[in-house]
Structure 1
Amino acid sequence: MRIFVTGASGWIGSAVIPELIAAGHTVEGLARSDASAAAVAASGARVRRGTLDDLESLRAGAAASDAVIHLAFKHDFSDYAGAGRTERAAVEAIGDTLAGTGRPFLLAAGVAGLAPGRVATERDASPAVGPDAPRGGGEQFAFEYVDRGVRAVSLRFAPSVHGDGDHGFLATLVRIAKENGVAGYVGDGANRWPAVNRQDVASMVALALEHAPAGTAVQGVAEEGIPTRDIAEGIGRALGVPTASIAPEHVDDHFGWIGRFFALDIAASSAITQELLGWTPTHPTLAEDLAAGYYTRG
């Protein structure tokens, strides 16, 4: 297949492209800069210049493809509502282009917020509905295109997609621990975060392209719920700093914007995904990647 990938040079996209090429697909990746274009080309994919705001480029990429994997998102926490509007416009541009074709449209989402306080499954509907919802309600909006002849599939990723080179949530927590001289967790640290290795999630995406039915969600989760105290202890060992509880009233001061996320209890399962796709995570765990020193170099 000819596959159009947004976020092609990003953390997940740069791992997904080699999986797709190895499976025999031709890939075209969206690139917003010269550096991104060079990275996409080096991965073996063709380059389409454009951004998420360039809806004509998205439409053209989708029209020229047999499938779209939409992984890009504006992670701008200073204007998260604006990022949501951008996401919804991108989903609409791609969905309208693919309408009536039966082609796959896979888009990135997350497991956070699905079912706080219990283990979320693929059967849990996203509570983010409507243009003002987080991420513009993109998952549910994309599923509206199923009735319009699009094989829409939601790729729900764990908040920690870890590995060598990660600059996401886990790397942010490590940086904060390094700056403060202590690896913190909130309260008793019993709240849980799911995690998955980047290489495992890349293989899941490739399998979902082949096998996930329209209107389904698959969950990129290898460890369904790591107590955040355990995560903090792993960071502390990696950095050689103590671990400590941070009182809820001091979370913003200690952690900044990520503190409220790190305080959530957002365990999630991938049992249905593993059975549906024949997918088994095999790569190192979060604790193993921390111990390997990927997050503490420099």
Structure 2
Amino acid sequence: MRVFVTGASGFVGSAIVQQLLQAGHQVLGLVRSDKGAEAVTNLGAEPYRGDLDDLESLQKGAAQCDAVIHTAFNHDFSRYKDNCDNDYQVILAMGKALAGTNKPLVVTSGVGLLHADRLLTENDKPASSSAIPRAASEEAAIAVAEQGVNSYIVRLPIVHGPNDHGFIPIVIGITKDKGISAYIGEGNNTWSGVHRLDAAVVYRLIVEQQPAQKAFHAVAEAGIPFKQIATVIAKELQVPVTSKEGADAEAHFGWFKHFAAMGVPVSSELTRTTLGWKPVQPGMLEELVPGVYF
């Protein structure tokens, strides 16, 4: 199978490229720069120059392949809604190239879009993108499905692993800057997690099996209390750990307070049983050690 992967040189995308190649597939990887092209070539894949603003190039890339895995997203939070709206158009464009072919299109979303006072499953749906802009990606996947595209949704939790530039390094950076590790309130809000290599397997299994189930949770650990994360970080950095609330939490975490307080209990049972997925990589707390995050 020849697979078009967007974000092919990224943290998750590069793991997917490796996983596909190891399974004997060919990969055409979307890259924006010479550095990205070199990284994808070194993995053993074929680089494809383009970007998320060039919808025609995305259509052409998708049309050349037997499946599409979309992981690229502009994480510039200063224009977050615009980026979410753009992702909707990107998915529509690639979907147009696949309509009526039964070729799978796998779209990336996040478990953080879901909200309820219960364990959430793969069949739950986020609120409208008018309330949660990032939900536009899932809405686009549904829209292209109605146009005859074999589309799938993978919701990711906190993805961790070597060379991570996401949420965990942000928390570590704040802790270093403030000289104290903090959690909000009692710190019982939970982060779900998955190692990047385990997440990559979910994408591969979807394009290979193309099951009837359409939404998946690449979640290896359903709920790690944020207090535990803050405590391990404090130990490694040899700083105090404490609770923060209200204005103190705002002052400590700044714009990241929303994410530090985030708690989404999610199940991945359907994903595991449908795909036969068994995560095997180290857990989040196991990786908060020298040589990985420190």
Equivalent-residue separation in structure 2 for 1:271 and 1:248 (angstroms): 36
Counterparts of 1:1-298 in structure 2 under 5 Å? Answer: 1-129=1-129, 133-135=132-134, 137-158=136-157, 160-213=158-211, 216-296=214-294
Distance 1:81 1:20, change over 3 A: same
Contact 2:92–2:144 under 8 Å retained in 1:
no
Q: CA deviation at 1:87?
A: 0.5
Q: CA deviation at 1:2?
A: 1.1
Contact 1:212–1:276 under 8 Å retained in 2:
no
Equivalent-residue separation in structure 2 for 1:215 and 1:99 (angstroms): 19
Contact 2:104–2:210 under 8 Å retained in 1:
no
| CA deviation profile, 1:119-162 (whole Å, cap 9, x unmatched) | 221010122446x742261112212222322110001000x111
Q: CA deviation at 1:42?
A: 0.7
When the two structures are superposed, what TM-score results if normalisation uses the length of structure 1? 0.94
Equivalent-residue separation in structure 2 for 1:68 and 1:151 (angstroms): 10
Equivalent-residue separation in structure 1 for 2:278 and 2:172 (angstroms): 28
Q: CA deviation at 1:252?
A: 2.7
Contact 2:88–2:139 under 8 Å retained in 1:
no
Equivalent-residue separation in structure 2 for 1:113 and 1:177 (angstroms): 26
Taking only aligned residues, the RMSD between alpha carbons, in angstroms, comes to: 1.5
When the two structures are superposed, what TM-score results if normalisation uses the length of structure 2? 0.96
The share of aligned pairs that are identical, in percent, is: 43
Moved over 6 A (4+): none
What count of residue pairs does the alignment treat as equivalent? 294
Q: Partner amino acid for 2:145?
A: V
Determine helix, strand or coil for the equivalent of 2:47. Answer: strand
Q: Partner amino acid for 1:149?
A: G
Determine helix, strand or coil for the equivalent of 1:269. Answer: coil
Q: Partner amino acid for 1:140?
A: E
Q: Partner amino acid for 2:5?
A: V
Q: CA deviation at 1:67?
A: 0.6
Contact 1:118–1:265 under 8 Å retained in 2:
no
| CA deviation profile, 1:161-204 (whole Å, cap 9, x unmatched) | 11111110011101111111111111110111101111111111
Contact 2:85–2:133 under 8 Å retained in 1:
no
